[in-house]
Structure 1
Amino acid sequence: MKNVLVTGAGGYIGSILVPKLLEKNYTVTVIDRFFFGVDKLQPHNNLTIIHEDCRRLKEEHFIDVDAVIDLVAISNDPSGELFKEVTYEVNFAARVNTAMLAKKMGVERYILPSSCSIYGFQDKDTIVDEYAETNPLTVYAKANEEAENGVLPLAEDNFTVTVMRQATVYGYSPRMRFDLAVNGMTYGAWENGIIPLMRDGSQWRPMVHVEDTTDVMCLLLEADAHMVNGEIFNVGSKRNNYQLGSLAEEIAAALPIDVKIEWYGEPDHRSYRVNFEKIENALNWEANYTAADGALQIYQKLEAGTLEKTEQTITLNWYKELIKWQNIMKQVGMYGGILEIQKNDQLSIAHRSRGVFF
């Protein structure tokens, strides 16, 4: 696995993964719309950046590619509920199409980062493994499950397909997100000493640090194909299975300030505990980070002034902002610009006659 193609590479996970791949001497091609800016990835001799929509990929994008890590997604439940059709197009249809194109063009390995959210709601005494019945409750979760069902049947001896069901990700990233549980709690604690927590705190949720899940992606590139082909792996750890109330308490205890918990909203009906023994046993992998580690990491960056909360760090808010400005541009744009416009021949002739040249 020398040449790796990463879709959605400018996002929260991709901006951690790509530098890690480059450090491991992979040649990396990234494909993204870069809604959050291309500046999240630093230039590198072995990095090729392609601005393209994942719904418009062609065979030529997969020439000489050895492996695909298909990160692209409309991320989080609120975005999925607001942009339902787009979420199915991107998170399901486009990723299945990417896998099909990759297989057709001779790519050897395809990795689909999916989500543990497809377990949805489970009995409080149940700990689900990869063979448990799923129960997706949101558009985001349902689209992930359909993507899994679309790519896994493509697995053959010469085309290794692996699905990662990631726990809820947390930790610092250049494309920071404060709309994730641990990250949002940490910001609230840092900003005003309050952790906002959705009622009633008893719901279970698995967590995984962004460094840990990207380590797994690197591991899957090199793992024995017979161990991972056609397989689903839950990615996280037993230690990172949290009840949200206990999670808030752990974050509060990890920070060097006084923090209190403030409840809000209606009870969250998503609740699931996840078993991670399969990946630990099959690939001899263990998570390195806890929520306390991630919270302290973010807190220190906020304190140092190297991290701030902006419109971009709340995914749904930024999508809405982009759409707002797209509508404004449609209204005021004319002749290929706003203040500066494309010049026509008559205007150029008129100005030349007055000694003004374009």
Structure 2
Amino acid sequence: MSNISTSVPTRAPIRSRRSIALLVLGLTVLLAGYALPFLGLPRNVLTLLTSASMTAILATGVGFLVRQAGLTSFGHAAFYGGTAYLIVLLSVHSGLPGELIVLSAPVIVTAAAFGLAFILLRTHGVAFSMLSLAVAQALFELMMRWRDLANGEDGLRMRLPRELFGLKLTFFQKADTMFLVSWSVLALIILGLVLLARSNFGTLTLAIKNNEERARFIGYRTLMPRALIIALSAFIAAVGGMLFALYHGYVTPGILHWSLSGEALIIAIIGGTRAVWGPALGAFVFVILRDLASNYTTHWQSIVGLTLIAVVLLMPKGISGVITGFLQPKRRNGDD
């Protein structure tokens, strides 16, 4: 009898090596980010990076909703801007402690999003997107027209105490220190979403996304997990809005406009939604590209539009998909 040696190829080593490579890359980027404020960068560059990190949080929430539930939202500006407005309004019209205002605002917005999710989930596809857009625009119109409450299109200035969480309020309004805060928050959010995606709940929601009918058939209730995903996505956007309010100390209705939601969705597509960190990468690329383009032309939107078209056609998985594909070791011939 001839000796026939057979080997069963496994993808585990390949996945393990790719995970290690991504971990090393992620830690390198994280540490590099913490080093940026100490490199003597111009103030306008630090301001740009701080804005990008807050936008990255919003885009991460939008991208997470697409990745985990297959839902496309045009209304996340309501959660982002709604939190910023709530902090400013409470600081002006209530006598609550500043810390309570800042911490409770994202929770209140998230609770509202959770309740709203049961209405939004009665629709599917384009109808879901349009309904989320309608909710955001309704809030935009409310802040625009209710001058006695929010001062209309002129906006409203925050009135928090000079100290917050034991730190001077100016700590949150300087580009270098606020970048470190928002960078840390972004890193914690991405880490939390990575762990959630690998949990049983993350696996369940992906299964519901791929085939909701089959998930129901085997005994799972699908409405509550999907509502929780919407609420979590809203919470991420709300945290970004909280940082925005602390940093700028001023809000206008523009932060509630549908164009901000659309921008966040474009960013998520550019970065790629298959990776949790993809939309965050897309945010930095988008904000930097927008700033560079606006220095040369007033029609910078056309450059961003052409970039989006190029990404969709040449990189359907986004920039993050290209990076993960590059880090994935090539299989030998004959491997499955």
Structure with bigger helix share is 2
- Do the structures match in fold with TM over 0.5? no
User: Given the two structures, how large is their TM-score scaled by the length of structure 1?
Assistant: 0.24
Q: Which has the higher contact order (CA 8 A, sep 6+)?
A: 2
User: Given the two structures, how large is their TM-score scaled by the length of structure 2?
Assistant: 0.25
Structure with bigger strand share is 1
